[in-house]
Amino acid sequence: MFAILVGGTDIEFNLATLQATIPYGYYVSILLGLAGLKAILIAMFYQHLKYEPRSLSSWVIIGLVIASLLMSLSFIQLHAH
Amino acid sequence: MAAQSDHMSQDIFPPRVRRWLFTTNHKEVGILYLVTALFFFVAAGLLALTMRTQLSVPDNNVLNEGLYNQFVTVHGLLMIFWVLSPFAFGFANYIIPLQIGARDLAFPRLNAMSYWFYLFSGVAIIMSFIFGAPDLGWTLYSPQTAFQFTPTIGLNVGAAALILITVSITMSSVNFLVTMFKMRAPGMKLRNVPVFPWAILVTIFMMLYAFPSFLAAVLLLYVDRAFGTFYFSSIQGGALLWDNVFWFFGHPEVYIVLFPAIGLIADVIPTFTRRPLYGSKYVIGSMIAAAVISFIVWGHHMFVTGIGLTSTKLYTVTTIAVSLPFDVMVIAMIETLIKARIKLKAAALFALGAIALFVIGGITGVYLASVALDHALRGTYFVVAHFHYIMVGGSIMGLIAGLYYWFPKITGRMYNETVAKIHFVVSFIGFNILYFPMFLLLDMPRRIQTYAPDTGWGPLNSLATLGGFIFGGAQVLLFLNLFLSQRRGPPSGPNPWDGWTLEWSLPSPVPAHDFDTIPTIAEDGTYRFGNGSNYPNGSAHLEHSKVGNGLSYSHLEGMSPWPIVMAFAAFLFFLGLSIGQPTSPNPVSFKPFWPLIADGAILGVISLYGYSREKFSVHEESRVESWPFREVPNVKLGIWTFLGAEVIFFGVLIGAYFFVRTNSATWPGVGELFSIRNGFAMTLVLLTSSLTAIMALASAKIGSRNGLIAGLLATFGLGASFLYIKATEWIELGTHGVFNVANGLPATSYFITTGTHGVHVVAGMCMTVYLLVNTVRGRYIKGDYHAIEHFGLYWHFVDIVWVFLFPLFYLI
Amino acid sequence: MAVSNTQVIFDNLYGIFTDLAIVVGVIVFALMAYLIVRYRAKKSSNDPEDTPRLGRLPTSRGHGRNVVITVTLSTFLLAVLIVTSFAAVDILFPNSPPNATWCYGIPAYNQTTVTGQSCPRLDVTGHQFYWVFRYPNNHTYQNFFRVPVNTTVVLDVTSADVFHDFGIIQFKIKTDAIKGRTNTIWFIPYKVQNYTIQCFELCGTGHVGMIATLDVMNVTSFQQWYGSTK
């Protein structure tokens, strides 16, 4: 687990040094995607969500879904002017 | 306040003052909330009456403009934060454990602490008048709140008060959530719970996810004013950043102050119509739907800011959609009247009146959902009328219904019914005379201290002022009635209304230990109640059987000095942060006032220590109804819930960063400003510290003391390394690169966002020290490893936040 | 009595909303009053059969059918309101901003060509605590401005300091004045008269005095005045 996380971070670091060669949009998306992946792994394994009763994990997931909804709304406002 | 206590005379209690200061009993905390909220209600009401007097005729000068602006601001702040919610939560504290068959809340000391934070925050906001109270409306729009335009301390004190009350509310939220999910009586399934507790549960969820946004907003405002950052004083952030962040909180907030009253009404009406609530599950479902939708309508406060038709039309649709659940609720309550047997006692009158006024308020809300109409109505008295119909007509009238409904239960005495009915009639008429003319004043701007005679607004304003005095005067009847009845009213008996929710099965007033025996609810919905001795086998019995001798119940009516001490410490701390003078010789921000801050911090540390060392145990019933969190322990559930609030908090901070960055034409490129290597190192350090935290937990579980110590030490060390790298980085940026907050938004957003994260790291490290000390003492290795687990949950969350901050600040 | 096109749009839409509001309100209140009177407790009556009692949790009651009917009816009504609102706002804020010509004597906004005149717009800037109006010829005026009647007028509104709101009261139109942003509104005045403008967002102590006047003149008088300011 730890190795995966470190590996992911290493990828990010290297990506940054190559930053000039990748289109900016893809660059940001990949980075954020990697960050999201790491976050999920930490939550599932370090915070033990994978092993917790279903009720607790659904709790967290529902919250995250709603949070994403809000972020989308804000994005629309920022970019669709 | 002391007058309420003679109903507890059956049980033996220590001297009264100590008792009220140190109580953690949910009933007493509830009474404290109710009395304090009513006090603030009168204070804010007097502010309003003064404003109405000023506005009664054109070109008046009872209040000059500066004072008027302060009055209107504090009136709004007091009513929304210090009256409406606390009033509702006073009832929630007293009644909900009774209604679900629990003996107290999940965390009684936390509950008391919530109250004291609330009280001290109220002291702070009143104190702000000394320095010139905040005077920009309760909505505190930017950039007029920036130091440049408001270089006065009063706003800082107001901000401190708001932070304190947010903390109070967050603690309450976690508490009620865990209580309602994990402490119901056996057989009390969620679907059996009455509507009022459900309404509070829904309210709690909204509070949990809305208030962190407010906290972030006030925090950013504070750092702008105290450290000269640029969130709200810049063009890229400024008015719209505050507008978004504030109203993202603000709209759920106005539902937060409404829902408890609706739940209350939904329980009061059936009692006085003698029939069950029609469609109760649809009512509850609608409340949940409305609560969720309430988070996606905030843009309707920004219809004329120029955010574009795509956004505004979207918000029109969501705002109109949110009226549908309310339709369902109102219809359900009206249907309950069909083929009923309606007894028009005072509580019923207020409940029904509240529905009628809420309908008017709701309909006019639909007007405001239309962008075209809003272009005329925004910032006018039409809006003022709309929300007062909801908040006073719906919420306050509903809460007064609750007051009459539960007064006998809380005091054991009956109020005077005739006076109460007169109170209703005069209030209802006065209310409409006060607020209906405001709809007709739809041309008149809000928050203006006076107006010219040739506008023609005079007559309607005079009429409204008359209504104001009638409505305000009527409340004297309320206070007299309740105060005198509480002293010499006739005994009410346990169930004067022939109600059927669990609180009516207990004596009035409710004894200290609540239930002799927690009832068990059978499959068919029946249960035994009362202080009898015939109980079916298998019901939950209390350990002690001594009734009436309060001493046995030390763990139930437990007293603790730490809640009030801790709250006072926080009060001092935040006050110190807010009353410093402007910097000199070139004022751009405020200095903190270190003596108070230090006092508060020291006292806070002492009280944290005392709190944790206190032998305060909560008796957990052996058999409880706790779906869906049957297998999740109380504290763990509490921590995950708190982390959810933290997600929103950091989400808003990161969102603010995105906002100002998107609006900035130029921004430093990748690697230009920050050393990516540093960021990489910090990420690795933190990830490793999460690993060591896991190893610590594993050691604790297998009982290895040395392993646990090693793990904790390593985590602490890695945390310290993280901070060290960060510190060197900051120093380098500050001195060599001349990169400090005065340099504008990249610096502002970087320092504040990573800084807040850093504070969380420091907090985590303090926890490590505490855990280390206890480990040396031999704890956590004999199967009681939970504290390590809980720390881990928090620490991994802090790690997750950094996992996002690293790419967001260093790599893009 | 119409004073501007924006006011007419508002009055029409407001009228639709109010008609529906009155209908709904009357129905709801009449129903409530009727039910309260009809089912009042009398000494002789007994509690209904399904009155819950202590000792037994209440049974749930009610048809989902009623909920569906309510929601459907409400949705229809609200959809009407949404559609009419969208129509109104599309007129007020067309996709391409109106070309601000002094279209003398032409009442519709979307006629862009006129007698060869160029068409800049008026800039409005909010300050603490006054309004400044800047004309295409760069002359500025404080707290008043003049326009010809029956002409499209376009205003680009911004702020020099804090968050203000520019509202022409009788025209039922307003927009926020935010530093760093420009919000555009437009109108066609129909009546020669003076109109009051106020600030609708609390902007500090002085907010109450942030009043300006719009002077709508007949076309010839305006041309004379504007010509003389060159």
- Note whether C41 contacts B375, CB cutoff 8 Å: no
Alpha helical stretches, state H, B412-506: 417-440, 458-488
Residues 31-70 on A with a CB inside 8 Å of B are: 31-32, 34-35, 38-39, 42-43, 46-48, 52-53, 55-56, 59-60, 63-64, 66-67, 69-70
- Note whether B69 contacts C61, CB cutoff 8 Å: no
What is the pLDDT, as a whole number, of residue B433?
97
Taking the Cβ of residue B299 and every Cβ of chain A, the question of whether any pair is shorter than 8 Å is answered with yes
What is the pLDDT, as a whole number, of residue B368?
95
- Note whether B279 contacts C170, CB cutoff 8 Å: no
- Note whether C175 contacts B306, CB cutoff 8 Å: yes
- Note whether B339 contacts C56, CB cutoff 8 Å: no
Could you tell me the two tokens for B456?
């023609």
User: What ipTM was estimated for this complex?
Assistant: 0.91
Residue among B536, B589, B400, B537 nearest B478 (CA): B400
For strands C183-187 and C144-148, give the pairing.
unpaired
What is the pLDDT, as a whole number, of residue C95?
60
- Note whether B274 contacts C47, CB cutoff 8 Å: yes
d(CA B10, CA B85): 31
Which amino acid is located at B164 in the chain?
L
The tokens 């009456």 sit on which residue? Answer: B49
d(CA B449, CA B66): 9
Q: In chain B, which residue's Cα lies nearest the Cα of A67?
A: B648
Give the three-state DSSP class for B601.
Answer: helix
d(CA B328, CA B316): 20
Taking the Cβ of residue B233 and every Cβ of chain C, the question of whether any pair is shorter than 8 Å is answered with no
Q: Chain C residues with CB inside 8 Å of B304's CB?
A: 165, 174-176, 183
Could you tell me the two tokens for A57?
């994990």
Shortest distance, CA C229 to any CA of chain B (angstroms): 31
The whole-model pTM stands at: 0.90
d(CA B40, CA B79): 8
Answer for the pair B609, A28: CB distance below 8 angstroms, yes or no.
no
Start and end residues for every CATH 1.20.120.80 domain found in chain B:
664-812
Q: Chain B residues with CB inside 8 Å of C58's CB?
A: 270, 276-277, 280, 500
Residue C176: which of B305, B370, B498 has the nearest Cβ? B305
What is the pLDDT, as a whole number, of residue B587?
64
Chain-centroid distance, C-alpha B152: 27
What is the pLDDT, as a whole number, of residue B736?
66
Please say if the pLDDT value at position C51 is more than 50.
yes
3-state secondary structure B738-782: CCCHHHCHHHHHHHHHHHHHHHHHHHHHHHHHHHHHHHHCCCCCC
What is the pLDDT, as a whole number, of residue C93?
76
Residues 504-523 on B with a CB inside 8 Å of C are: 504-505, 521
Please say if the pLDDT value at position C116 is more than 50.
no
d(CA B192, CA B521): 10
Which pLDDT tens digit goes with each residue over C127-143? 999 999 998 778 899 99
| Stretch C36-42: mean pLDDT | 89
What is the pLDDT, as a whole number, of residue B617?
67
> Which CATH superfamily groups domain B664-812?
Cytochrome c oxidase, subunit III, four-helix bundle (1.20.120.80)
Residue C41: which of B238, B343, B379 has the nearest Cβ? B343
Q: Chain C residues with CB inside 8 Å of B332's CB?
A: 62, 67
- Note whether A32 contacts B793, CB cutoff 8 Å: no
Q: In chain B, which residue's Cα lies nearest the Cα of A70?
A: B296
Taking the Cβ of residue B143 and every Cβ of chain C, the question of whether any pair is shorter than 8 Å is answered with yes
d(CA B459, CA B168): 43
Chain-centroid distance, C-alpha B509: 28
Q: In chain C, which residue's Cα lies nearest the Cα of B267?
A: C58
Q: What is the mean pLDDT of each run of 10 residues along chain B (812 residues)?
A: 38 67 91 96 97 96 94 96 96 94 89 96 94 93 90 90 95 90 86 92 93 93 86 88 93 96 95 91 93 92 89 91 93 91 94 96 95 94 97 97 96 94 97 97 95 94 97 96 93 91 89 83 79 36 34 52 92 90 71 86 86 72 68 79 88 89 82 79 88 86 85 91 89 70 77 91 90 83 82 90 87 79
Residues paired with C154 in a beta bridge: C186
Taking the Cβ of residue A81 and every Cβ of chain B, the question of whether any pair is shorter than 8 Å is answered with yes
What is the pLDDT, as a whole number, of residue B583?
76
What is the pLDDT, as a whole number, of residue B618?
66
What is the pLDDT, as a whole number, of residue B548?
34
What is the pLDDT, as a whole number, of residue B673?
75
Which amino acid is located at C85 in the chain?
S
- Note whether C181 contacts B240, CB cutoff 8 Å: yes
Alpha helical stretches, state H, chain C: 5-38, 64-92, 219-228
Indicate left, alpha or beta for B525 from its phi (over 0: left) and psi (-120 to 50: alpha): left
The tokens 């806070």 sit on which residue? Answer: B604
What is the pLDDT, as a whole number, of residue C163?
95
Taking the Cβ of residue B189 and every Cβ of chain C, the question of whether any pair is shorter than 8 Å is answered with no
Could you tell me the two tokens for B272?
């006085």
Please say if the pLDDT value at position C118 is more than 50.
no
What is the pLDDT, as a whole number, of residue B111?
94
Answer for the pair B607, B569: CB distance below 8 angstroms, yes or no.
yes
Q: Chain A residues with CB inside 8 Å of B687's CB?
A: 2, 5-6, 9
Which amino acid is located at B326 in the chain?
F
Among A61-70, B119-128, B799-808, C97-106, which stretch is predicted with the lowest mean pLDDT?
Answer: C97-106
What is the pLDDT, as a whole number, of residue B695?
87
- Note whether B209 contacts A66, CB cutoff 8 Å: yes
What is the pLDDT, as a whole number, of residue B104?
87
Enumerate residues 6+ apart whose C-beta is below 8 A from C102.
Answer: C114, C117, C119, C148, C151, C152
Chain A partners (3+ C-beta pairs within 8 A): B
Taking the Cβ of residue B344 and every Cβ of chain C, the question of whether any pair is shorter than 8 Å is answered with yes
Taking the Cβ of residue B190 and every Cβ of chain A, the question of whether any pair is shorter than 8 Å is answered with no
Q: Chain A residues with CB inside 8 Å of B644's CB?
A: 60, 63
Chain-centroid distance, C-alpha B777: 38
Residue A80: which of B308, B691, B810 has the nearest Cβ? B308
Shortest distance, CA A51 to any CA of chain B (angstroms): 12
d(CA B280, CA B333): 9
| Stretch C82-108: mean pLDDT | 63
What is the pLDDT, as a whole number, of residue A80?
55
| Stretch A26-38: mean pLDDT | 80
- Note whether B343 contacts C53, CB cutoff 8 Å: no
Q: In chain B, which residue's Cα lies nearest the Cα of C184?
A: B306
What is the pLDDT, as a whole number, of residue B623?
67
Q: In chain C, which residue's Cα lies nearest the Cα of B367?
A: C17
